[in-house]
Every structure is written in C-alpha cells, then in structure tokens.
Amino acid sequence: MKILLTGGAGFIGSNIVDALINLGHEVAVVDNLSSGFQKNINPQARFYQLSICDKQLSEVFKREKPEVVNHHAAQIDVRKSAEDPVADAHDNILGSLNVITNCLDFGVKRILYASSGGAVYGDVNYLPADENHPVNPISQYGVSKHAVEHYLYLYSAMYGLEYVALRYANVYGPRQSPLGEAGVVAIFSTQMLTGKQPIIFGPGDKTRDYTHVSDIVEANIRALDRGTNAVLNIGTGVETSDQTVFDTLAEVLEYKEPPIYAPVRKGEVYRICLACSKAREELGWSAQISFKEGIEKTAEYYRKLARESQSN
C-alpha cells in the first residue's frame, strides 16, 4: 500500500521505513531533519524535507495520496519540553493536528501514532502499568504526546478516521543518536567507546522498560491492519535500572571506569515498565529481543561507528 511516514529520517522512523519497503510497500517520508539524518532515509523512499507544521504538507498529501499515515515526527526531548513548552506543544500538538486534518482532507484510511508509554503515565501507582492506569504526565512532553491521543479519538468518532496509538517504552538500537539528552544506551555506548565517563542522574535505581527498535518495527507492521482505534502499550514489561544499563554496556564494551553520579533531573519518571497484554490481543505482538541480546546488537553498531570515526 501507499504509506506516508513522518519523521522517517529519525531513529525509529527510518527503521520502520526500511521494513515497509522490504515488504513491498510504497513509502514517502516527511522530515525536516531537525533531529533526523538524511543518510538514514531509504533510497527507495520519496523524501520531502518539510516540517509537519508547514502548510505545504497538504501538497505532499495531494501528490502522494497515501492510504496510511505513520506519524513519528515529534519534539522528543523531555528537557527541551520543560525549557520551551510552547515550542514542544507547537511541534507535537499543532504539528500532529496538521497531519490529522490532512488525513481527513485527502481520504487517508488509517493513521498510526507514536505515543509515549514512558512519559504519559507519570509516576505510576503500580507496575507494570497497563492502558487503564491513570494518565498524569509529569513533563510537558508527556502532556503533548497524550493530547494527540484525544484528538485521534475525536476525529475517529466524528469522521471515521481509523487510528492506532502505540505507547512506546524506552526504545533503543541502531541509529539512535547519542547527541541529545534522550537515548541513554546510545549516549553511554558512545561515551564508553570514546573514553568518557557516563553520567547517571541519581543513585542508579531509576528504571525504564528498554525495548529494542526491531520489536517496535514489528508492532508498526502489525498495526497496519490490526488494533483499530486502540491505544496500546509497546514494551517488554521488565524494569531495567540505569545502573544495570551501565553495568551491561560496560561488560559488553569492556569499559573499566566507574560512572559519574549527578543529581536527579526534574520531570523524569522514577520507575516505569509497561504491561503489554492488550498488544498481544490486538496485534498478536510481544517483544522478542531480551535486554542483553539487544545491548549486544546495539553495542556492535556503535563499535562500528567508532571505528569509522577513527578511520576518518
């Protein structure tokens, strides 16, 4: 089918584009390259360098006539959302509304939306958190990602637009950028390989649900024709601490130095992992990659990048 993917130059989006093209789908990518990289874009995809907030987005919809939109373009940094909540809302809420209204205007049947299971629930009452857990985000980013879920429900109820909202856990894997504040596996890997000491914010007991990008890709493939009008957690259901991430990477990368411990940052959830039984029911999906296996795969990717950087 014809699929338009926003954020297709980014870490997660570009991996999904590759899988869609390998399955024979026709894919167009919209990305303004603010955080993505043109080198990530599959050469078989048509590329439009454009913000999802731009009025010209309608020209892309008019030309491509997609049957499905996969919406990953977003401002993804929790710290940036706190520093500039208006810019965060502009990109994540108004930009998403621009995508959604174009879906209606140009007859798109279905939209897949990358939400955040790591951010929308806030500090949780129980673990693993399921989709019925109260939604009380403690970051502006979490608020903006959740707001779009309500718009999707509204536009489905009013106009019949099919949607699937996938609440991702903490995704890691090849192509994740080590340059921002998000993506601790990428950041720690790069720091260890370049002889720098990784920083752990807090005593190391903060937990996340680390899910390999290949599992995220599979959930998106299945959601093309399953899980209609559902909000689904996509994760492993396993808590992994910052200290465990550091220790596992240090073992795999043979890094001998200790981490630096710094004060906890505001707006960060303390503990989270996601119950994903609903995704199993709706999509027939469950995570397949264990944390250790995923770390070994990911570490090899960053080793290769480090070797290439040294040779240049």
Question: String of b and e for 288-304 (b: at least 16 CB within 10 Å)?
Answer: ebebeebbebbbeebee
pTM: predicted TM-score of the whole model, two decimal places: 0.97
Of residues 121, 141, 163, 168, which has the active-site annotation?
141
Query: What gap in Å lies between CA 30 and CA 8, rounded to an integer?
Result: 6
Tell the burial category of 164 from Cβ atoms under 10 Å away from its Cβ (0-12, 13-18, 19+).
buried
Give, for 232, the enclosing helix (H) or strand (E).
strand 230-234
pLDDT of 123 above 90: yes
141 is catalytic: yes
How sure is the predictor about 55, in pLDDT bands with cuts at 50, 70 and 90?
very high
Tell the burial category of 226 from Cβ atoms under 10 Å away from its Cβ (0-12, 13-18, 19+).
middle
Q: Which domains does the chain have, with CATH numbers?
A: 2-171+212-234 (3.40.50.720), 173-207+238-270+290-311 (3.90.25.10)
- At 148 the three-state DSSP class reads helix
Nearest to 3 by CA among 93, 81, 65: 65
How sure is the predictor about 310, in pLDDT bands with cuts at 50, 70 and 90?
confident
Q: Name the residue with higher pLDDT: 76 or 127.
A: 127
pLDDT, residue 79, reads: 87
How sure is the predictor about 126, in pLDDT bands with cuts at 50, 70 and 90?
very high
Chain segment 287-303, per-residue pLDDT in tens: 999 999 999 999 999 99
pLDDT, residue 246, reads: 98
Chain segment 22-44, per-residue pLDDT in tens: 999 999 999 999 999 999 999 99
Q: Is the Cβ–Cβ distance between 183 and 133 less than 8 Å?
A: no
Query: What gap in Å lies between CA 218 and CA 240, rounded to an integer?
Result: 22
Residue 169 is given by DSSP the state: -
How sure is the predictor about 181, in pLDDT bands with cuts at 50, 70 and 90?
low
How sure is the predictor about 77, in pLDDT bands with cuts at 50, 70 and 90?
confident
